[in-house]
C-alpha cells in the first residue's frame, strides 16, 4: 500500500512539474523592438513575452530566450515601437459605430458641399425615409452661408435638396442640429413654438425658425419623430443594428490601436448588449461605460448594473455621465462672461444645479464615479463647487470633468486639490483653434483654453480621448495635437501649453487606466498586467515632429491576442 501511494505521489509530482514548465514558456513573444513600458521603474525594453492574456516578462532579447519554446509565436519587431494599447478615455462607442450608416460631414468645407451630399443621398432613398448625417461645422467652412443667423445657414437649400425626406444633420460638436422643412413639419415646429428649457430654436429676426436647434432639449423636438420612425423596426432589427454598430466600432478601434475605450454615456439597454457580448467573448475591447440615464432610472437600476473588472476587465459600469453645459462651437459652453462674438449670450446651463447636486450626492453614497461634461469656465467652476463639497471628505473618488476645456485660472489648482481628473481631448484644441479667439477673445483664450501645461504643473491628472465621432478616433492625430498644438496651416495655438511626448503617452495609456480604476491591470507593460499592446511603425517619442502623423498601427494586441495586423505595411 505504501509503495502504491508513493508511486502515485511520484506521478502527481511529475505532472505538477511538467505543467509548471509548460507555463514557463510564452504563447507570444515580441523581440527587437523599442518597447515603451510606461512604467517609470522599467523604462524601455527590447522584448516582451505573453502567456495567455497576461504579460509574463519584459526585458532584453537575451533574457527573453528562456521563454521561447517550439510552440511560441515569435514576432520580430525589426526596430518598430511598442506601447501599451491606447485608451480612448472619452468617446461614444455606438456613435462611432453608427457613423458608417450616416452621411459623414466631418471633412466638408462649405455649406454647399453639405447640401450636395444630402441631395445625392436623397436620390437613393424612398419617400419618407430619414436622412441622417453628422459632423458639419460652420466655422470650418471656406465661406459664410447666405442668409445666416450667427453663421448658421437657413434650411432652404437642404429643403430643396431633399423635399420628400426628413433630414437631421448633427453639428460636429454634437450640441446642435440643422434639419429641413420635412422634419420640421413632422414635428409641428412653427414660429409660435416655444424654446424648451436648456435649449434653443434658432430664429431669424422675425422669429421664424431657420432649421437649427441647439442642445438636447431643443433637438429632442425633432429627434423624437426620428426615434418613432426607428421604433417601427422590430425589436430584433433594433438589436441587430446595435450589435452591428458595436462590432463596427470595435473594428475601427482595433485598427487604430485602441484597446480600452471609455464610453461617455450609454443607456442601460445598451449596457445589456455590451454585457451579453462580453459573456460570449465577442466584445474584446475593454469598455469603461458611463451611464447616461436620468437620476431616477439610475437609482432604480444601479444595484443590478454596478460592475468593475467584469469579464476579465472587459466591462466597467460604475460611472455616471452628466452635462452641465453645451459646446463652444455652438456657443453652448457656459461662460462667466459673455461671448466676445455674441455679447448678449453667456452660454447654456443644460442640467439644473439641483439635479446635478442630487446626482453627486447619490454617486458619492453609492461608490459611483461622476463624470460631468463641462466646457465653459462657469460650467467648470459650478461643477468643481459641487464636487468639492463632497470630495473634501475623500479625494480618491477619481471624479472627472469631461473636457475641462475653458478654465478660469482660479480653477486650475482645484483639480489636483480635489483629486478631480481632467478628461480632455487634445485634438479638440487644434480643430477648435480657428474659432476660439473669436468666441472668447485673446485674453480668455491664452489664460484658459486647453491649459494642459498649467494643469500638469499643478499636479492634475489628464486622461486623453477624441470624443469620437465628434473627432476621428485616430490616436496618432490626437497625440500629435497634444505635443504640437499645430493647426493644418502650420500655426501653433498657444504652444506654451503643449504636453511633452512622454506626458502625452501617459495621458493615453496609464492615466486612462487610472481614470477607470484599472491601473493595477492595464495602462503599462509589466509582468502580471493584461497584454494589451499597440505596435507602431514609427517611434512617436523620438521621430521629428512632422513624421508623427505618418505613423501607422502595425499590430494591436488585446488580452494576448492579435486583433489587428496591418498587412499593407
Ligand atoms: Zn462626448
Query: All domains of the chain, ordered by start, with CATH?
Result: 1-79+525-569 (2.30.40.10), 87-93+256-518 (3.20.20.140), 107-171+175-231 (3.10.310.70)
Ligand 1 centroid distance, CA of 264 (Å): 6
Mean pLDDT of 394-420: 94
Tally Cβ neighbours within 10 Å of residue 10.
Answer: 10
Ligand 1 centroid distance, CA of 267 (Å): 14
Q: How confident is the model at residue 3 (pLDDT cuts 50, 70, 90)?
A: low
Ligand 1 centroid distance, CA of 471 (Å): 10
Instruction: Give the closest residue to 109 by CA, choosing from 154, 151, 144.
Output: 144
Residue-wise pLDDT tens digits, 248-298: 999 999 999 999 999 999 999 999 999 999 999 999 999 999 999 999 999
Residues with CB under 5 A from ligand 1 (ion): 264, 467
Ligand 1 centroid distance, CA of 305 (Å): 22
d(CA 487, CA 467): 18
Residue-wise pLDDT tens digits, 366-377: 999 999 999 999
Ligand 1 centroid distance, CA of 466 (Å): 8
The pLDDT value given to residue 152: 96
CA 53, 57, 60, 63 torsion-angle sign: negative
% of the chain exceeding 90 in pLDDT: 89
Ligand 1 centroid distance, CA of 4 (Å): 68
Ligand 1 centroid distance, CA of 234 (Å): 29
Cα dihedral 422/423/427/428 (nearest 10): -80
The pLDDT value given to residue 541: 98
Which residues does residue 88 pair with via DSSP β-bridges, in sequence order?
Answer: 261
449 pLDDT more than 70: yes
d(CA 556, CA 101): 25
d(CA 138, CA 142): 9
Instruction: Give the closest residue to 485 by CA, choosing from 458, 450, 459.
Output: 450
Ligand 1 centroid distance, CA of 184 (Å): 26
220 pLDDT more than 70: yes
201 pLDDT more than 80: yes
The pLDDT value given to residue 67: 97
Ligand 1 centroid distance, CA of 358 (Å): 22
DSSP 160-197: HH-TTS-EEEEETTSSEEEE-HHHHHHHT--TTPPPPT
The pLDDT value given to residue 10: 53
Cell of 491: 500655426
pTM of the model: 0.85
Residue-wise pLDDT tens digits, 341-384: 999 999 999 999 999 999 999 999 999 999 999 999 999 999 99
15 pLDDT more than 60: no
Ligand 1 centroid distance, CA of 88 (Å): 11
Ligand 1 centroid distance, CA of 470 (Å): 7
Instruction: Give the closest residue to 89 by CA, choosing from 513, 528, 519, 563.
Output: 513
Ligand 1 centroid distance, CA of 467 (Å): 5
% of the chain exceeding 70 in pLDDT: 95
Of 230 and 153, which is predicted with more confidence? 153
Instruction: Pick the range with the lowest mean pLDDT from 154-163, 227-236, 453-462.
Output: 227-236
Ligand 1 centroid distance, CA of 90 (Å): 6
280 by Cβ neighbours in 10 Å (0-12 / 13-18 / 19+) ranks as exposed
Ligand 1 centroid distance, CA of 429 (Å): 14
d(CA 376, CA 382): 10
Ligand 1 centroid distance, CA of 247 (Å): 20
337 pLDDT more than 70: yes
Ligand 1 centroid distance, CA of 101 (Å): 19
Amino acid at each position: 500500500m505504501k509503495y502504491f501511494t508513493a508511486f502515485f505521489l511520484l506521478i502527481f509530482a511529475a505532472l505538477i512539474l511538467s505543467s509548471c514548465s509548460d507555463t514557463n514558456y510564452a504563447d507570444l513573444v515580441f523581440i527587437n523592438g523599442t518597447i515603451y513600458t510606461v512604467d517609470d521603474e522599467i523604462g524601455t525594453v527590447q522584448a516582451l513575452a505573453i502567456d495567455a492574456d497576461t504579460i509574463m516578462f519584459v526585458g532584453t532579447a537575451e533574457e527573453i530566450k528562456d521563454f521561447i519554446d517550439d510552440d511560441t509565436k515569435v514576432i520580430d519587431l525589426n526596430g518598430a515601437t511598442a506601447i501599451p494599447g491606447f485608451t480612448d478615455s472619452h468617446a461614444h462607442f455606438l456613435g462611432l459605430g453608427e457613423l458608417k450608416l450616416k452621411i459623414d460631414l466631418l471633412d466638408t468645407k462649405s455649406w454647399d458641399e453639405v447640401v450636395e451630399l444630402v441631395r445625392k443621398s436623397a436620390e437613393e432613398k424612398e419617400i419618407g425615409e430619414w436622412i441622417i448625417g453628422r459632423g458639419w461645422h460652420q466655422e470650418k467652412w471656406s465661406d459664410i452661408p447666405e442668409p445666416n443667423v450667427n453663421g448658421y445657414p437657413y434650411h432652404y437649400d437642404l429643403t430643396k435638396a431633399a423635399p420628400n425626406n426628413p433630414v437631421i444633420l448633427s453639428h460636429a460638436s454634437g450640441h446642435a442640429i440643422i434639419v429641413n422643412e420635412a422634419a420640421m413639419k413632422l414635428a409641428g415646429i412653427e414660429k409660435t413654438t416655444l424654446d424648451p428649457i436648456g435649449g434653443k430654436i434658432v430664429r431669424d429676426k422675425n422669429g421664424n425658425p431657420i432649421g437649427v436647434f441647439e442642445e438636447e432639449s431643443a433637438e429632442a423636438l425633432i429627434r423624437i419623430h426620428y426615434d418613432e420612425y426607428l421604433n417601427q423596426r422590430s425589436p430584433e432589427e433594433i438589436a441587430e443594428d446595435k450589435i452591428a454598430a458595436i462590432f463596427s466600432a470595435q473594428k475601427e478601434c482595433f485598427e487604430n490601436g485602441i484597446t480600452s475605450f471609455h464610453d461617455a454615456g450609454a443607456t442601460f439597454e445598451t449596457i445589456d448588449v455590451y454585457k451579453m457580448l462580453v459573456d460570449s467573448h465577442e466584445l474584446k475591447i475593454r469598455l469603461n461605460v458611463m451611464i447616461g440615464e436620468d437620476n431616477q432610472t439610475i437609482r432604480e437600476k444601479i444595484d443590478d448594473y454596478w460592475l468593475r473588472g467584469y469579464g476579465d476587465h472587459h466591462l466597467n459600469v460604475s460611472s455616471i455621465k452628466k452635462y452641465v453645459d453645451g459646446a463652444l462651437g455652438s456657443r453652448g459652453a457656459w461662460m462667466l462672461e459673455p461671448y466676445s462674438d455674441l455679447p448678449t449670450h453667456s452660454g447654456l446651463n443644460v442640467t439644473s444645479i439641483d439635479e446635478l447636486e442630487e446626482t453627486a450626492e447619490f454617486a458619492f453614497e453609492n461608490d459611483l464615479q461622476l463624470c460631468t461634461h463641462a466646457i465653459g469656465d462657469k460650467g467648470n467652476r459650478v461643477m468643481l463647487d459641487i464636487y468639492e463639497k463632497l470630495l473634501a471628505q475623500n479625494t480618491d473618488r477619481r471624479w472627472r470633468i469631461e473636457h475641462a476645456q475653458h478654465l478660469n485660472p482660479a480653477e486650475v489648482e482645484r483639480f489636483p486639490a480635489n483629486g478631480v481628473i481632467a478628461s480632455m481631448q487634445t485634438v479638440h484644441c487644434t480643430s477648435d483653434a480657428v474659432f476660439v479667439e473669436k468666441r472668447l477673445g485673446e485674453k480668455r483664450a491664452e489664460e484658459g483654453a486647453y491649459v494642459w501645461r498649467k494643469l500638469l504643473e499643478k499636479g492634475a491628472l489628464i486622461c486623453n480621448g477624441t470624443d469620437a465621432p465628434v473627432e476621428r478616433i485616430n490616436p496618432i492625430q490626437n497625440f500629435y495635437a497634444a505635443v504640437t498644438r499645430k493647426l493644418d496651416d502650420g500655426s501653433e495655438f498657444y504652444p506654451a501649453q503643449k504636453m511633452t511626448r512622454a506626458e502625452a503617452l501617459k495621458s493615453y495609456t496609464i492615466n486612462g487606466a487610472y481614470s477607470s480604476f484599472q491601473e493595477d491591470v492595464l495602462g503599462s507593460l509589466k509582468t502580471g498586467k493584461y497584454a494589451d499592446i499597440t505596435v507602431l511603425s514609427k517611434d512617436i517619442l523620438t521621430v521629428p515632429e512632422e513624421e508623427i502623423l505618418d505613423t501607422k498601427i502595425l499590430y494591436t494586441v488585446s488580452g494576448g491576442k492579435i486583433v489587428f495586423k496591418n498587412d499593407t505595411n
